[in-house]
A and B are shown apart, each in its own frame.
Chain A
Amino acid sequence: MSRSRFNAVHHAPWVASVGLFVIWELGVRVSGMPEYILPSPSAALAAAWTFREAIWMHAEQTMITTLGGFLIAVIFGVILGAAVGSSRIIYSALNPILIGFNSVPKIAVVPILVMWFGIGGIPAVLTAFLISFFPIVANVATGLATLEPELQDVLRSLGASRLDILRKVGFPRSLPYFFTSLKVAVTLAFVGSVMSETVAANVGMGYLMMSASSKFNVPLVFAGLLVIAVMGIVMYGIFSLLENRWTKWAVRGARSA
């Protein structure tokens, strides 16, 4: 890749994001859109600054519940994915259940969680978990199930046990799939926790935006959305970095091209 192409690729995300805000700002100003319908980004940022302490507190709560749910999803997803991916029987037994479960809107599950655990952080953690484990299961299972048959023959003809094959080939090979799913899952986990906080919590970004909108503080609602978006991008970026570091062999095409 030439140096100028590299720079263009490097700067493109910043240019696009800043561009979006500029168009948004100009659109609101030119059209004279009232603030209680669509505030300008500058108004949203101003609101974010005004309420910075409240936002920090709520964002912290949302970050903790999201990561809590995500962590459970990773543990559960890897175990279930390993089981589904390495046994055809488990796969065919659980596949319909998993698909059915994934089709259920998680917002419909929140009231049940509230009945069981009351209002607060626990339903948020669990919603984040429920919404984010599926891609992890699916990806880990795919990574394991798509092992080349020849490679399995090579290992089996050396006397490798199923566990050997899993350890030496299965897990390293599904690592890129796993990291891809982490990036998807962590952003989904934000969706889950914020959704639950919106309906059933006294703290967290969802609650903050809900109460702001009930007071018609629309700039604060948008400030909340921006904060959640930034948290999502940061987490995605962290997992992207880890992916590049640990599975360089799988992204070599993009690097050496």
Chain B
Amino acid sequence: MPQTGLKVSVMDSTPVTTAFVEIDKVRLRYLEGDGLALEQTSMTIAKGEFIAVVGPSGCGKSTLLKLVSGLIRPTEGKVRVDRQEVAGPLKIVGMAFQNPTLLPWRTTLDNVLLPLEIVQPHRSNLRRQRKAFEEKAMALLSSVGLAGCEKKFPWELSGGMQQRASLCRALIHEPDLMMLDEPFAALDAFTREELWDVLQGLWMTRRFTVLLVTHDLREAAYLADTIYVMSKRPGRILVRYDNVLPRPRNQEMTFRQDFGDLVHELKGHIRTVRAA
């Protein structure tokens, strides 16, 4: 393997001691008789870590997110979050997808407040603390550059602004875990890179644990502490990279040699995987 100045380690090397998310020899088959969607997969994520999973399309990356958030159960193996086995949908998760999925009949502010109408204990306090919640949502919106948009409806916002609002909705209840399923894939390149910085900023101030699934190798290299490369379906983890690029990362860094080499190497893996 070429020297890139980045620590490169193959899977099953050092176990993380302070695991927040543990995926332990998990296999998944959606339906009896179907092929495996996910081949035996193990992974540990430390609290506050930002990991990215890259791989060819259909390799089970999104499946991995659903497993961790408890929306589906593994066929074999165990998923543990905060030392508890995941048995049903977790309530400490924030999610954002490629499609912003904002509710068109609600204003941006009301969209962001939606999780507080569902998650306890906020839900019971909603009526009493409405004002405080609204202020919190406004602060969050302005931290992603959406100040002044709170009364607008989602369809009055651009795609990038909708995705910002979607990130706010995923964060308003201060989840410990953030699941991002190609959140920026539908945006133009400039907006996408702007949102990398928005996400990095939010993460650096709040330090939630992030699982980011993406096709975009530069995105993974820009944002993640750890990058996992997955194989074709049935997906399994092939390589793990510790991304040692310093924080906070900025657009200038993407032109540096070490950044380029990392992306190049990831690309090499994906090419091998796709050809296999």
A75 at the interface (CB under 8 A from B): no
| Chain A residues, Cβ within 8 Å of B57 | none
Compute how far the CA of A250 lies from the CA of B103 in the bound complex, rounded to whole angstroms.
11
* A249 lies within 8 A of B153 (CB): yes
A35 at the interface (CB under 8 A from B): no
A120 at the interface (CB under 8 A from B): no
A168 at the interface (CB under 8 A from B): yes
Binary per-residue interface labels of chain B (90-125) against chain A in the complex, 1 for a CB within 8 Å, 0 otherwise: 110111010101011100000000110111100000
Q: How many residues belonging to A are interface residues under a CB distance threshold of 8 Å? A: 21
Q: How many residues belonging to B are interface residues under a CB distance threshold of 8 Å? A: 28
The prevalent SS among residues of A at the interface is: helix
Compute how far the CA of A150 lies from the CA of B89 in the bound complex, rounded to whole angstroms.
14
| Chain A residues, Cβ within 8 Å of B155 | 249, 252
Binary per-residue interface labels of chain B (49-75) against chain A in the complex, 1 for a CB within 8 Å, 0 otherwise: 000000000000000001001110000
A159 at the interface (CB under 8 A from B): yes
Residues A30-59 near B (CB distance < 8 A): none
Compute how far the CA of A157 lies from the CA of B211 in the bound complex, rounded to whole angstroms.
15
Given the known interface contacts A153-B66, A249-B153, A252-B155, the answer about A159 and B91 at a Cβ–Cβ threshold of 8 Å is yes
CB distance from B239 to the nearest CB of A (A): 28
CB distance from B182 to the nearest CB of A (A): 11
The prevalent SS among residues of B at the interface is: loop
* A158 lies within 8 A of B115 (CB): yes
Residues A148-171 near B (CB distance < 8 A): 148, 150-151, 153-160, 164, 168-169
A111 at the interface (CB under 8 A from B): no
Compute how far the CA of A204 lies from the CA of B169 in the bound complex, rounded to whole angstroms.
56
B179 at the interface (CB under 8 A from A): yes
* A154 lies within 8 A of B104 (CB): no
CB distance from A165 to the nearest CB of B (A): 9
Compute how far the CA of A209 lies from the CA of B91 in the bound complex, rounded to whole angstroms.
64
* B118 lies within 8 A of A169 (CB): no
Q: What are 24 contact pairs spanning A and B, CB under 8 A?
A: A148-B101, A150-B101, A151-B103, A153-B69, A153-B95, A153-B97, A154-B101, A156-B71, A156-B89, A157-B70, A157-B89, A157-B90, A158-B119, A159-B118, A159-B120, A160-B118, A164-B118, A168-B103, A168-B114, A168-B117, A168-B118, A173-B103, A173-B105, A250-B104
In the complex, besides A154-B101, A159-B120, 8 extra interface pairs with C-beta distance below 8 angstroms are A150-B99, A151-B103, A154-B97, A157-B90, A158-B91, A158-B93, A168-B117, A173-B105
Closest 10 CB pairs of A and B: A159-B91, A157-B93, A249-B104, A158-B118, A151-B101, A150-B97, A249-B105, A156-B89, A160-B118, A157-B69
